[in-house]
Each structure stands twice: as structure tokens, then as C-alpha cells.
Amino acid sequence: MAPLRLRHPEGVSTIQLDLSTSTVEGLQEEIYKLSGIPHYQQEIKSGYPPRAHVIVPELPLSSLGLKAGDQVIVSRKAGFTVQSSATTTGRSDAISSGSKLVSGISPRPETVSQQPQISSKATGPDSVATDGGFLIHRVVPDDNSCLFSSVAIVFEQDIAKATHVRKIVADGIRSDMETYSEAILGCPRDQYIATILKPSTWGGAIELSVLAKHYATEIASVDVETGRIDRFEPPTDMQSGNRCILVYSGIHYDAASLSPMEDAPPEWHQTVFPIVAADAQDPILGAAKKLVDILRSKRAFTNTSTFDLKCQDCGQGLKGEKGAREHAQQTGHVRFGEY
């Protein structure tokens, strides 16, 4: 018996199947028991990027190319809706899942509503459809810790670990005095470290370079205003062949993650991706550029060379990110707000 991790609309489960003797229909039956989705309504995906399988129930399970420990993603095919009771089949063995009732037996196809489901973007984050699902704009609070919060989502799967990410940066600078010299930092190293540990301090290119090395992963920052992609790569001998995506608006960082469905919970999301190409030929980078196109159309960016800032410590007016950095170096003030 081999374990398979099953993600379905009702949650996440682990099932055990004999990959050498089971049939595809056996997998479908396990999916039905856990999710209530009838066999003919199941869309089954696996691999990276997740791809939908052509289902032939009689074939051996090995025909799907699954291996022990693989993740199988299941959703209901478009055009089908959840039945609120089992009366269409004459059986009353409905399975209760929270407040929702799912029919305990497959209704006949003609009894199922064929009304297409419409996805509305009036609320919720922006997203872009890809072969593997949807690249989702993961918005983080505008609290001066946005870079660290975004990285915490990507690598720690927990935005609350932003403080931990700051400590990783401080330790990385402290342990590499040659790369992060006073000339690079723009101030004495100890002062820079003390400042970056404060929750009110912004992060930028230096922090991203430290984090790329620590996590051995390329961090691709995609600029909303220009579509430019800035890559922060780990040293050659530490490269894992993976990258993640951050969305940069000029004064704010957000994360991006791949979800199998637009409304899937965050724990289903993939945040680190194999590098396929160095440019938009890479499916994830291509999707990221389309995502920032959507944000640009909404004017969701700030020109950092011209925007007006106010120091929230002393009230002085400042022009652009450069003015804010110079003021911070001169005064030690680190709390800024946009006029």
C-alpha cells in the first residue's frame, strides 16, 4: 500500500492504495468517499504544474503515473453544482460536511444542474489562470514589514514569522562582513542591523539578497509600474533551481502563490517553483507579468522617485524613497507615511 495526499473541496486527506493492483476507479471511489463528488464529476490533477488526467476507470492506477507520497488535487468539473440532498436517487444516506449536505450516491447525469458557475472578482485578490491553477496576489498589511511578511508567507507559510525573517537578515549581514560592508549598507553595520530588527523599518534589495542566499532560492521581484523583474539569486554553489515571486508596487511588497482553485485555502497554495526559464517563457514568470498588468491597470503602484512622504517621527516632508533613506540615515527616524 502507498500513501497519496488528497486535496479536495472538503479538506486534505491521506489515502492508501496499492499502486500496482488498484484501478483508476478504485481511486475515484476513495475520492467519492471523502469528498462526495460523484465519479463522473471528478476532475483529477497531479504533478507540477498540476495537470488534469484523462480518466478511464478500468485502467490500472499506474496509468496515471502516480508514486507513493504524490499529491492528488480533486475538484468538481465546471458545470456541476453540489446537490443539497439525496432525494434525486431515492436514497437518504447523505453525508454531512459542516453545514453542507453532499449526496451519498451518484445522481443520474440528467438530474444535475448544468448551470455554469460564474466567478466574480468584485471581491478577493486578483489572479491569473495558468496550466497549474491560478497565480494569486497575496496581499499583506501595509505596516512597514511588508517585505518580511511576504517572505514569511513564501518560505515559512506563516505571516506571523515576519519577525523571524528579520532575524535571518540580521544574522546574514552579521556573518558576511565582506559582502555587507559599511560602504554597501550606507551606515555602520551594527547600526544597520539594529535598525532592520525594528518592526517599523522597511526592507529592500539588501534584505532580498540575504534571504535568497539563506533559502537557496531565487527571489523574483516583479515591479507593477514597469513589469521589470529583479532577480535576487543565491550564490552559484547554493542554487536549488527554484524561485519564488514577490510583487513590488514601488513602496510595498506582496507575495504571489499558485492555487489549484481561485478560492482554495492558503495551505493549498504553492509558493516556490522550479525554474523553467529565465524570462517570461517560464510559466510562473509569465503569469506574474500578467498579474502585474492587472494591477497596473488599476494604478496599484507608486512612483518612488516623485511621491511625497512624511516622517511620522518628526513631521518633516520628504520627496521619494531616496529622501526617506537619507532622512533615516541622518536622524535614525524610520517611520514614514505617504501624503
**DSSP single-letter state for residue 97:** E
Residues tagged active-site = 143, 146, 252, 333
Percent of the chain with pLDDT over 90: 43
Q: Flag whether pLDDT at 127 surpasses 90.
A: yes
| 331 compared with 16, residue with greater pLDDT | 16
pLDDT in tens, 187-235: 899 999 999 999 888 899 999 999 999 999 999 999 999 999 999 999 9
Q: What is the mean pLDDT of the chain?
A: 81
Q: Flag whether pLDDT at 170 surpasses 90.
A: yes
Supply angle C-alpha 159, 326, 299, rounded to 5. 55
Q: What is the reported pLDDT for 156?
A: 95
| 324 compared with 172, residue with greater pLDDT | 172
Q: What is the reported pLDDT for 305?
A: 61
- The model's pTM: 0.59
**DSSP single-letter state for residue 335:** -
Reading across the β-sheet that carries 336-338, which strands appear in turn? 317-319, 308-311, 336-338
- Cβ atoms of 20 and 230 closer than 8 Å: no
**DSSP single-letter state for residue 138:** E
Q: What is the reported pLDDT for 335?
A: 64
Q: What is the reported pLDDT for 43?
A: 86
| Spacing of C-alpha 180 from chain mean position | 30
> What are the φ/ψ torsions at residue 329 (nearest 5 degrees)?
-65, -35
Q: What is the reported pLDDT for 321?
A: 66
Q: What is the reported pLDDT for 99?
A: 25
pLDDT in tens, 50-67: 778 878 777 788 888 888
CA dist 334 and 164 (Å) reads 20
Q: Helix, strand or coil for residue 40?
A: helix
Q: What is the reported pLDDT for 307?
A: 65
CA dist 22 and 44 (Å) reads 16
Poorest-pLDDT segment among 87-96, 144-153, 168-177, 201-210: 87-96
Domains of the chain: 2-111 (3.10.20.90), 127-302 (3.90.70.80)
Q: What is the reported pLDDT for 306?
A: 63
Poorest-pLDDT segment among 156-160, 229-233, 270-274, 300-304: 300-304
pLDDT in tens, 277-321: 988 789 999 999 999 999 999 888 776 666 677 787 888 887 776
